[in-house]
Amino acid sequence: MTLFAVACAVIYPLFHTGRPWLAVYWLLPYPNTMGMWPNFRSPLIWDVFAVSTYGSVSLLFWYIGLIPDLGTLRDKAKNLWQKRIYGTLSMGWRGSARHWHNYEQAYLLLAGLSTPLVLSVHSVVSFDFASGQIPGWHTTIFPPYFVAGAVFAGFAMVITLALPLRRLFGLQDFITDKHLDNMSKVMLVTGLIVAYGYLMEAFTSWYSGNIFETYVMKNRLEGPYRWLYYSLLVCNVLAVQPLWFRRVRYSPLAIWAISMFVNVGMWLERFVIIPMSLHRDFLPSSWDMYYPTAWDFSTFFGTIGLFLALMFLFIRVFPAIAIFEMRTLTPEAKVKEPAH
Amino acid sequence: MSVADPPRHPVVPRDPPVLAPGHTAASVTDKISSVVFGKMPVWFYAGMAVAFGGVMMLLLSLTKLVFTGIGICCCSGRSGGRRSTASRRR
């Protein structure tokens, strides 16, 4: 899911460079004959590093995690070409003690790298805004607020995709009520952190005494896009509150509906941060409204299509649930210590 | 409520398992890999067709953006496409 989301996300800054075929030349720091380097103070460059690091570590983590399962698929494949492809991808996996030892070390290392990366990537992405001077962007709460928002939206998206797949492929034995309960709890906690972020934004705008900051909040509450801000509060704050109840956390339909609210809410959050802050900045002479064109809509829905197409392909070609991890949960995997 | 009445809400066990009981390593492997090797249901192809339509829409819009941005195409956009009045006068 992360990889496909990164593939979609990279399209936007890439095409906003104007000449995407030159983007690598402009954005990546490499020694060249003209001695030219990108401007490291530009948030666009920070984005390049954040997205490329996140993409490459996620790719490695995903692929390494798949290796034992690719070996299983190779052994189960009946078609020669399937055997060859899965065999090549599994890199000669035999499941020997030595292979497991190396595998577990590599996986642990990548897990250790990926965990702080979640914090750093979203913090860097938030700096893209926080280092700007636009009222509504220039705020120190953005890094933790973006990290919590990413976990919140990530869990919502996992629920959005996992619940229909669980039902349609009959995977209820592997994605159990326990998983739904735990995912709902994480969504509730991160949702509360995000709600705290909204509250602090409002408080800071008042407490700062800065007329521009105060106006940002006034514009959100009373401006022409106010219905989007109220919808955001409904989707990201109110809609998750039923998760306090155990009965809701054990109802797949209710959780799925809540996750859809969160998906919409997180998109609205981006709209509130970007166009709503830009459409009324310091100079009233530059104030304007943003009206999306048909091309804006088609790019947006097109990236959703790309994400879903990649997901469908993934489900068809690779195991949707880690087989070897599930095997470790079976009773036969519990090794009993011999009595001494 | 009499003793025979069923509960109004399904009873949820206090600590449900992470993996449903009755599975072995072989059954887990067979069930998950059946999604890869088994026959896909019709909804899968329908969903894939819709998603592929989305990819084509993305391709079209990105092509339009590039062509308009560099002034190749005559797309009828607000900012691109037909050359602006000022450039036509030149």
Residue A273 CB neighbour total at 10 angstroms: 19
- In the structure encoding, which two tokens stand for residue B36, read together? 């890869």
Distance in Å, alpha carbon of B4 to nearest chain A alpha carbon: 23
Q: Do A298 and B48 touch (CB under 8 A)?
A: no
Handedness of CA A211, A217, A220, A221 (dihedral sign): negative
Residue of B nearest to A170 (CA): B31
How many angstroms separate the CA atoms of A234 and A7, rounded?
A: 29
- In the structure encoding, which two tokens stand for residue A288, read together? 């304007």
Cα separations in angstroms, A88 against A83, A92, B32: 8, 7, 21
How many angstroms separate the CA atoms of A201 and A217, rounded?
A: 8
Amino acid at site A243: L
In this complex, the residue of A177, A293, A333 whose CB is nearest that of residue B78 is A293
Mean pLDDT across the stretch B56-78?
Answer: 79
Q: What is the pLDDT of residue B86?
A: 47
Q: What is the pLDDT of residue A13?
A: 84
Mean pLDDT across the stretch A41-70?
Answer: 89
Using pLDDT thresholds of 50, 70 and 90, give the confidence band for residue B81. very low
ipTM of this complex prediction, to 2 decimal places: 0.83
A window 10-39, beta carbon within 8 A of B = 11, 15, 18-20
Using pLDDT thresholds of 50, 70 and 90, give the confidence band for residue B74. low
Using pLDDT thresholds of 50, 70 and 90, give the confidence band for residue B80. very low
Residue of B nearest to A306 (CA): B55
Q: What is the pLDDT of residue B75?
A: 54
Cβ contacts below 8 Å, chain A against chain B, sum to 144
For A150-206, the pLDDT digits (tens) are 999 999 999 999 999 999 888 888 998 899 999 999 999 999 999 999 999 999 999
For A122-156, the pLDDT digits (tens) are 899 899 899 888 888 988 899 999 999 999 999 99
Q: Do A293 and B9 touch (CB under 8 A)?
A: no
Q: Phi then psi for B13, rounded to 5 degrees?
A: -60, 150
> What is the average pLDDT value for chain A, to the nearest integer?
90
CB-side neighbour CA atoms (13 Å) of A35: 0
Mean pLDDT across the stretch A95-109?
Answer: 92
Q: What is the pLDDT of residue B5?
A: 61
Residue A4, judged by CB atoms within 10 A of its CB (0-12, 13-18, 19+), counts as middle
Q: Is residue A333's pLDDT more than 80? A: no
Q: Do B33 and A323 touch (CB under 8 A)?
A: yes
Distance in Å, alpha carbon of A328 to nearest chain B alpha carbon: 8
Share of chain A above pLDDT 90, in %: 60
Residue of A nearest to B10 (CA): A247
Q: What is the pLDDT of residue A34?
A: 80
Low-confidence winner among A262-266, B12-16, B51-55, B65-69 (lowest mean pLDDT)? B12-16
Q: Do B52 and A78 touch (CB under 8 A)?
A: no
For A12-54, the pLDDT digits (tens) are 888 888 888 888 888 888 887 888 888 888 888 888 888 888 8
Q: Look up residue A140 and give its DSSP letter.
A: T
In this complex, the residue of B24, B41, B52 whose CB is nearest that of residue A330 is B24
Element (H or E) spanning A267, and its range?
Answer: helix A252-273
In this complex, the residue of B47, B50, B62 whose CB is nearest that of residue A15 is B62
- In the structure encoding, which two tokens stand for residue A120, read together? 């750093």
Q: What is the pLDDT of residue A219?
A: 93
Judge whether B19 is closer than 8 Å to chain A, CB to CB: yes
Using pLDDT thresholds of 50, 70 and 90, give the confidence band for residue B84. very low
